[in-house]
Structure 1
């Protein structure tokens, strides 16, 4: 990775486990940071505003107190937290406020970024289950997805997302970092810290791979399987109009799934096979992975979900008058 001599000399190699790390951002393009800060600030403002509006509409509208919208609230809350836990380093770098981050802060940020990513995957799986029950077994929908069961699903999602990621994240605290303490992104990622460690990292590497397979890959397979069953059920409906109506209830969720998994796959491919790419490309893909789902999900559900769309328009009309 190309780094300016000024940046390299500012953080020297150390074997201390209590060190600070340099967040590079868009390396070599520091002169453009004031211009970069404008679109990034706008994106973060849209992330925070969009997800807060979705949560507000669902919270204040009794007719939306249904399982589908409870899961959507979980998705919006996850996206909101992703924005809050990354905004201070991304904009801090672009505004010239933050250049270094302590090991403890870096580990905490990494924990929440990866935990929230797993949580978003789990919520999308829960939403796929919701759509499967609503379309394939509508008569039992209210008896299967009761409020108590939704609470249990929500707690399971949180526990699954943050409990299993704890061991490798905690172990980051006890690794020795003897290489230059320069991170390749505007935020802390588990694989970025491993790259700087000179300790034995096999546990973290194998454990992280197992988590990706058992959570992200398994969720993707189950979501795909649920839509195979949904498609089979929809095609069995005789009326073309009814088919279209059933498909429409799934469009927003399908878009959310694509918006989440495409950046993750892209980031994984870039880390594995994109070593020849410029550092700017790596940082750009990393920011897309962090910001694209939280930005797009409120837009998708505001446009494609009729109940949300109607109440969003009503909310804006009230503000206008």
Structure 2
């Protein structure tokens, strides 16, 4: 097969790759979710939350280097997966060393995650796993969209070491999909930028989202008086679900929706459960995905998945 990547390069594969290196945790997470982890021989250090990732070679670089190019080359990979966060110079150096690299396009939406999951399945010969994963995601996101339709959206702020995520970011997409208004976009923030205490206090968000690397609201007078803090409406989400454009983002979205709109979500989820046949589940279905006082994760259902994706995959490799 031959497929053009984000650099415009035609990436050609003569047979299904058996040795794959992932250059970011999002690419590794996709490989795990579609059932292709056994093909992975190298991962970066931030993928160590994945089961048995510690048994794979660590290809992270030191200092300012994201990737140890010599290590990647030494693994003799059939394919290297390089998400958009990987510098193009790194991609070029690997290609100059004779390595086949597929560079992903930037991911800022849920649709982009569907796309990357499908593309990955095609590249590594796991179309059936990719099809099931995308169908499961669409099923859960469909329930969320049903739940939040017509609901009043609370003001929500994502806070991480004084930074926040505004327009054009994946985290903004998560907040919007879960039925919240992102405070950062309301004050004109785009991308990832610092946000002052004064702005936060003035906006007075109803909810504050944190991640496990910085799980506490600053201990300052202004923050202590925020509605979100006074009413104990802060949510700590595992960073691998909040910050990585990969399938497990579903857990961040569904749990946020469950907190923002509990009654609407329960009603929509009950409706989905009545009309959905369980044929596949996510590998981490029962994992706790939001950690706040008294709040556990929740189980998910999956969509009916046909064999069309698998048949198309077989045809692509002929």
Provide the TM-score with structure 2 as the length reference.
0.25
Instruction: Determine which structure has more spread, i.e. the larger CA radius of gyration.
Output: 1
Provide the TM-score with structure 1 as the length reference.
0.25
Q: Larger RCO: Structure 1 or Structure 2 (Cα < 8 Å, ≥ 6 residues apart)?
A: 1
Higher strand share: 2
